[in-house]
Amino acid sequence: MKSLALFTTFCAMQLTTVLVNGEAINRRHLGKRAVPLSATGAASTSSGSLPTPTAIVATGSAAALSSTGTPGTVAGTGTTPTPVVAGTPPAATGTDIPALTLISSGMPTRTARAAATTYAPGAQPPISGAPKLPTLVTAVSLPTASYPAENVVPDTNSPQVQQWMKELDGFNIPDLKPTVDGSCASDPQFAADSANRGWWTCGGVTRDTDIVACPDKFTWGVSFDDGPSPYSDLSGTAAPYVLDFLQQKNLSATFFVVGSRILERPQILVQEYMAGHEISVHTWSHSKPLTSLTNAELVAELGWTRQIIKDVIGVTPTTMRPPWGDIDDRVRAVSMAMGMIPVIWTRSPSGSTFDTNDWKVAGGQGTAADSFNTFQTILSQASQMETGFVVLEHDLFEVTVDIAIGYTLNAALNNNPKFNLEAIGQCQKFPAANMYLETNTNKTFPFPKNNATGANGSGSAAGSNSGGNNGKSGALRTLGLEQTKVVGVAVLVLTLALSMFA
Ligand SMILES: *[C@@H]1O[C@H](CO)[C@@H](O)[C@H](O)[C@H]1NC(C)=O
Ligand SMILES: *[C@@H]1O[C@H](CO)[C@@H](O)[C@H](O)[C@H]1NC(C)=O
Ligand SMILES: *[C@@H]1O[C@H](CO)[C@@H](O)[C@H](O)[C@H]1NC(C)=O
Ligand SMILES: *[C@@H]1O[C@H](CO)[C@@H](O)[C@H](O)[C@H]1NC(C)=O
Ligand SMILES: [Zn+2]
């Protein structure tokens, strides 16, 4: 959390550029790169030795840590770890990916790209039984008046949030006091009690219901957080971004999307969904760690994200990822009561998480080579695990996208043995239909109806077809698509000063 706090200022600046002035993005894109785009220079600088991998505990289950928060026993199965080949990063495959040494927060941006692919209302999504695309898929922007302000925790007194609060009825939501700011340092007593609170941030405590890895060895559950962004885009013939790369490699990934970003770029969400990638909830504002929020604020953050996803692509995710991985038993229970399984990322017993630290590069606090070295350590650790793994990467900034599609994904694909790259639900072997409320037909997924972690009574769990579908879209239709950016720059800068990036 400390490093995240350091990152705050940058994030405020950067997001302000992205959000306040949509034109700024376009202008940045119009500028040609001032540096060569060849990837061949990458090899010369990162030939250092691979850091010694930390031994990974292989528990044999999907969880890297036991539910008590203490490391599990070291696997003594005699499995010979397969070393990952260290040394030079592979050359980027795209024609427009800079050399690793040239990727930095100040780098020039790509050239302008062709218009994105669009889909018509009524088009059939790739998931069997999914509702046809709603009319909003053609919206270049959504009616902002129908949604909460961007980048702040939504109002908990709205009729929508009051309605969604009823989904918690009958569930035993632990009475845990919200944390000060989601950091261990600010709440030493809670941190000391993290095993009882199920607090992941302090000690990596997980519960059986969390998804923190893929079950199969050498399988990477690939995800991108914090979009949709201009760099998630499917660009057609121009510079490749995330969707282009995944298409070229015939891969699926999970996108943990932020409601405030969807409000700005709904069509990119549509592209992700229609290309067969998994869509998952990553809060409305991404402004505060979830353990620091009240139950009503949690419902507002998750509920509005679920709602805008449903409005744009017609389905409601059954999974979510807490920003910064900040979750405890209260956040879990609220999320599960609302029909969403928490997904975090793999964490080693030593406390190091499978975080590429790509966000540090975007924040000017680390080099792309640092991030890639971190990733090589992750692959090395992963190759010694009995299970597969999940890694934190982002698609909000161009530099993080360049690191991913130019280097980390290729490193895993080119490794010997090759890592199997899948979306996170896919690697869990969940049927694709299970990923959304509207298509899921398994009444005991994600958990037996009316029975979440500590569920008690007759709550409306996933499978009951009640979540995320409450007639809100009617209100949307009555408001035109006139876009009004009501949030002033000053207000936004202030609110974004609270914003952190994970
Ligand atoms: C793409 O991947 C899917 C499995 O995810 C596979 O069934 C299909 O054959 C692959 N297509 C190509 C062209 O490799
Ligand atoms: C339904 O989901 C549960 C997990 O919640 C799983 O154990 C069960 O096998 C699934 N049933 C079917 C028929 O897929
Ligand atoms: C409800 O959940 C609890 C705790 O997860 C579990 O022990 C119990 O078997 C579940 N009951 C049913 C009916 O599934
Ligand atoms: C179930 O709910 C009742 C009434 O709200 C409460 O008294 C009881 O303690 C709850 N039981 C559990 C196990 O949470
Ligand atoms: Zn995030």
**How far apart are the two ends of the chain, measured CA to CA in Å?**
10
| Residue in 234, 242, 278 with CA at minimum distance from that of residue 257 | 278
Q: Which one of 209, 210, 430, 442 would you pick to mutate in the ligand 2 pocket, going by the greatest count of ligand atoms within 8 A of its CB?
A: 442
pLDDT above 80: residue 123: yes
Structure pTM? 0.75
Tokens at 375, concatenated: 């990733």
Q: Higher confidence at residue 162 or residue 17?
A: 162
Q: Higher confidence at residue 477 or residue 134?
A: 134
Catalytic residues: 225, 394
**Could you state, in order of their start, the residue ranges of all structural domains in the chain?**
2-43+58-75+84-110+117-496
Q: Which residue has the least CA distance to atom 11 on ligand 4?
A: 456
pLDDT tens for 439-466 read: 999 988 887 654 444 444 333 333 333 3
| Residue in 14, 1, 5 with CA at minimum distance from that of residue 396 | 14
pLDDT above 70: residue 228: yes
Give the full edge-to-edge strand order of the sheet including 420-422: 389-390, 219-221, 420-422
Q: How confident is the model at residue 495 (pLDDT cuts 50, 70, 90)?
A: very low
Residue 447 Cα: closest atom of ligand 3 = 14
Which amino acids bring their CB within 6 angstroms of ligand 4? 172, 456-457
State the angle between helix axes of 295-313 and 266-274 in degrees (0 to 180), rounded to the nearest 10. Answer: 70
Q: State the average pLDDT for the chain.
A: 74
- Residues around ion ligand 5, judged by CB within 5 A, are 225-226, 323, 502
- Provide the pLDDT for residue 105: 86
- Provide the pLDDT for residue 111: 60
- Provide the pLDDT for residue 53: 23
- Provide the pLDDT for residue 40: 25
- Provide the pLDDT for residue 231: 85
| C-alpha–C-alpha distance, residues 422 and 324, integer Å | 22
pLDDT tens for 150-197 read: 999 999 999 999 999 999 998 899 999 999 999 999 999 999 999 999
Q: How confident is the model at residue 311 (pLDDT cuts 50, 70, 90)?
A: very high
Task: Look at 96-100, 165-169, 171-175, 250-254 and tell me which has the smallest mean pLDDT.
Answer: 96-100
- Provide the pLDDT for residue 139: 67
| C-alpha–C-alpha distance, residues 181 and 292, integer Å | 5
H helical segments located in 139-241: 159-165, 188-192, 194-197
pLDDT above 80: residue 373: yes
Q: Which residue has the least CA distance to atom 5 on ligand 3?
A: 453
Please give the DSSP secondary-structure letter assigned to residue 40.
Answer: G
Q: Which residue has the least CA distance to atom 11 on ligand 3?
A: 451
Task: Look at 131-140, 150-159, 411-420, 486-495 and tell me which has the smallest mean pLDDT.
Answer: 486-495
Indicate the CATH number for domain 2-43+58-75+84-110+117-496. 3.20.20.370
* pLDDT (average), residues 314-318: 97
pLDDT above 80: residue 408: yes
